[in-house]
Structure 1
Amino acid sequence: MNRTTRLYALVEELRAAAPRPRTVAALAARFEVSARTVQRDLQALMETGVPVRTTSGRGGGWSVDPHMTLPPIHFTADEASALTAALATADAHAPYAGAARTAAQKIAASMTGPASAAAHHLAARIVALPARSDSAVRTAVEQAVTTNTVLRLTYIDAAGRESERAVEAAGLLTANGMWYLIAWCRSRQAGRGFRLDRITAATPTAERARAHDLAELLRGSAAADAVRPAPLAALTSPL
């Protein structure tokens, strides 16, 4: 068993045992490797963001939260190559770009032989001119959208006027290479779009935002005809 296969197998072994921990000795015996090799593999998983953790003392060992990981997904070589290229070249200033990069690294690490070579070749032939946006702002926007909380921001509109806003994030819109936060603006008492590169400061709060329908907030705006990207349709269909 090569190391890439063993890393995936380790995660699945911990998922199957969850919430009970597995000791290094037990894992070493299971995969017929040394305890040192298992320790090194578990450390590598932690460094790539896999939520494995260790507890000490009697009954301790290594475990993983099954709700924080996905079971193995079997991509074809073409699918893996396309995903790697798309994720690896994602705009570094786009929302969730950090997660996209680590996802690309995990997919690339799982590929070997012709599939790996094809993915690297394709990614090397794609370039992009990144948009400018503050990373702290981007992180705050990501948090507000993901956790459905109120966001306080400083915004400069197209005329150069600066204002302070408290907004209830509803979603994200991308158009012509730009990203917009679509939200209910408490100051204007209406739905508004805020271009991310015009947000000069953003502070997340713990206050829960009311639920808002994204299509309703866009109604009557220049983005009223916005549609969900086709690759996301499967993720938004009823379970």
Structure 2
Amino acid sequence: MSAVVVEDRGPVRVLTLDRPDRRNALDLDDRLELLDALKAADREARAIVLTGAGSVFCAGGDIRSMSQDPEVARRRLEVVNAVVRQVVTGERPLVAAVEGGAYGLGLALAAACDVVVAGRGATFSTSFAKIGLAPDTGLSYTLPLRVGRGRTRELLLTARAFDAAEAERIGVVETLVDDGAALDAAVATATTLAGMSAPMVTAVRRLLVQPDQSLEGLLAAEADTQVELLGGPQFAEGRAAFLERRPPDFTHV
């Protein structure tokens, strides 16, 4: 049985974590399958939606499959690091559709996406501290970018649950919708992103995660990026569309 169900909705690829019997908690094999699915979607689609089957987006890592053997633990973490690296640095934009809850690794996967859409009844928790673990799956990187370092410290140390309204207020979630509507709303957002200039989307994503986030580092990176984009066919189409007072068609350039 596949851990990830793949469905194309026009230019958007929907990846559904499909382990509802364990609330989509991911073991090593599941992580490997998710990594492969993300890489394929990055090659074959223009935008990606990540969601979960059943009543929970993702409950985190599968605790029953965790091992105290250092070699086994290292392998699990290498794979999940590759997953979040693909989410953050891949070519295509990602939208998370969260229903029910996102905990631990599940919260980290959502936080790594460009946009998070959640049902109003969704709940969130960093959860690692509850079993004596520190964060992984890049959460110590992605969560401060969303909520700031002080709030990140509090959420990681207490592992308290917080609801969707608070998640939106502090920046974990961008869009709240009625329960059951997160996937359709996420697909709509992803479809909008799919219609944007692909080189522009990639450029914005890379600027936001490049190692040098100093003012001078970003000024230099912005200049290099803009020069490259100005010389490309997507900008030529955008400029022509502006002058001709028509919507740009970035998907066929």
Question: Do they fold alike, i.e. is TM over 0.5?
Answer: no
TM-score (norm 2): 0.25
TM-score (norm 1): 0.26
Structure having the higher helix fraction is 2
Query: Greater CA radius of gyration, 1 or 2?
Result: 1
